[in-house]
Amino acid sequence: MKSLYLVTGGAGFIGSHLVDALLGQGHRVRVLDNFATGKRENLQHVLSRIDLREGDIRSFERVKEAMQGVDFVLHQAALGSVPRSVADPLTTNEVNITGTLNLLIHAREAGVKKFVFASSSSIYGPTKTLPKREDMPPNPASPYALSKYAGERYCQLFCELYGLPTVCLRYFNVFGPRQDPASEYSAVIPKFINALLSGQAPTIYGDGEQSRDFTYVDNAVSANLLAVKAAASANGKVFNVGCGGSTTLNELIALLADILKLELKPRYQPARPGDVRHSHADVSQARAALGYEPSISVEEGLQRTVAWFQESPTISVPEE
């Protein structure tokens, strides 16, 4: 019988892409999502092929039920966003730390073979050293970043204390189709694309010279699938998942404007508290230990993402 995968947050942006990839490989897939940020339409095309469980990762009983018979866990569920965590640190703590601990407890009891945790590059904080390496001391500058670091440490402790094989992946600014532009906490790329398609000037917080290692979603999916198959030597370890490059927000706007053949200039607003100035991943450890290779470049990823937004019925495209 094919392995059973539990994807927490499987109705979300990255989670739904993972569901697609797992089904494409012939695996059985169970999704646990409370639809706080995930969307049912992200799974509409596969509903007949998955076991969808609606529930919150903070619920002891719902997690226990969802974990029965599971071979592998891909834990994507979280309350994302630095600004949201600054505004509401308590809920961020409950979901991202208590929810993760709840999953780890039931994964250990269920005899899960591998637990892969979606972490974040925000853990590094405002370091001036680039690129960012896994052996650098964490310096979280927001409740969100701190919650992800706590999740990592719990994963490592469960590996060391209880023998639960865990791998943590530090995502660097993942983007792609299905990323929601509507939320005030949305990531910059869907917000920028939506603004440009609507004929509006995109908003940049700060001077636009802050940089990110933008990573197309297929690269993050690949890292998860590789982490599941990784040798035991990867257990308890943390790996960067990025493209290994750096793009400023001003450069990003220029790339998008070029793809869309537009000449809209951004509007600049004051920088937001908790935001990291620069981010750039060293992916050499993931390459060596997992066989990870970021196969989709930023430019190609942006072209694919723009094409999806142009075809999406929920996006208003300005007339010619």
pLDDT digits (tens, 9 = 90+) for 264-301: 789 999 988 877 788 899 999 999 999 999 999 999 99
pLDDT score, position 185 = 62
pTM for this model (two decimals):
0.93
142 is a domain residue: yes
**Cα dihedral 201, 204, 205, 206 sign:** negative
| Reported confidence tier of residue 211, pLDDT bands at 50, 70, 90 | very high
Mean pLDDT, the chain, as a whole number? 94
Specify whether 86 is located in the same domain as 102: yes
pLDDT score, position 318 = 38
Question: Which is more confident, 127 or 46?
Answer: 46
Residue 313 has pLDDT above 80, yes or no: no
Count of structural domains, the chain = 2
pLDDT score, position 187 = 84
pLDDT digits (tens, 9 = 90+) for 68-108: 999 999 999 999 888 899 999 999 999 999 999 999 999 99
Specify whether 32 is located in the same domain as 86: yes
Specify whether 207 is located in the same domain as 129: no
Specify whether 256 is located in the same domain as 114: no
Specify whether 121 is located in the same domain as 261: no
- Backbone dihedral angles phi then psi of residue 268, each to the nearest 5 degrees: -105, 135
CATH number at 64 reads 3.40.50.720
Instruction: Report d(CA 91, CA 185) in Å as an integer.
Output: 15
Specify whether 183 is located in the same domain as 88: no
Specify whether 229 is located in the same domain as 110: yes
pLDDT score, position 273 = 82
CATH number at 192 reads 3.90.25.10
Specify whether 28 is located in the same domain as 149: yes
DSSP β-bridge partners for residue 120: 171
pLDDT digits (tens, 9 = 90+) for 59-68: 999 999 999 9
72 is a domain residue: yes
pLDDT score, position 206 = 93
Question: Which is more confident, 208 or 264?
Answer: 208
| Reported confidence tier of residue 319, pLDDT bands at 50, 70, 90 | very low
124 is a domain residue: yes
159 is a domain residue: yes
Dig out the tokens for 276 from the structure: 């990291």
pLDDT score, position 184 = 66
Specify whether 186 is located in the same domain as 231: no
Instruction: Report d(CA 320, CA 311) in Å as an integer.
Output: 16
318 is a domain residue: no
Rounded average pLDDT over 221-238: 98
Specify whether 68 is located in the same domain as 125: yes
* Percent of the chain whose pLDDT exceeds 90: 87
Asked if 188 contacts 208 with a C-beta cutoff of 8 angstroms, the reply is no
pLDDT score, position 317 = 40
Specify whether 78 is located in the same domain as 168: yes
Residue 52 has pLDDT above 90, yes or no: yes
306 is a domain residue: yes
Specify whether 133 is located in the same domain as 275: no
Domain that holds residue 196: 178-212+245-280+296-311
pLDDT digits (tens, 9 = 90+) for 160-205: 999 999 999 999 999 999 998 877 667 899 999 999 999 899 999 9
319 is a domain residue: no
141 is a domain residue: yes
Rounded average pLDDT over 13-26: 97
pLDDT digits (tens, 9 = 90+) for 26-35: 999 999 999 9
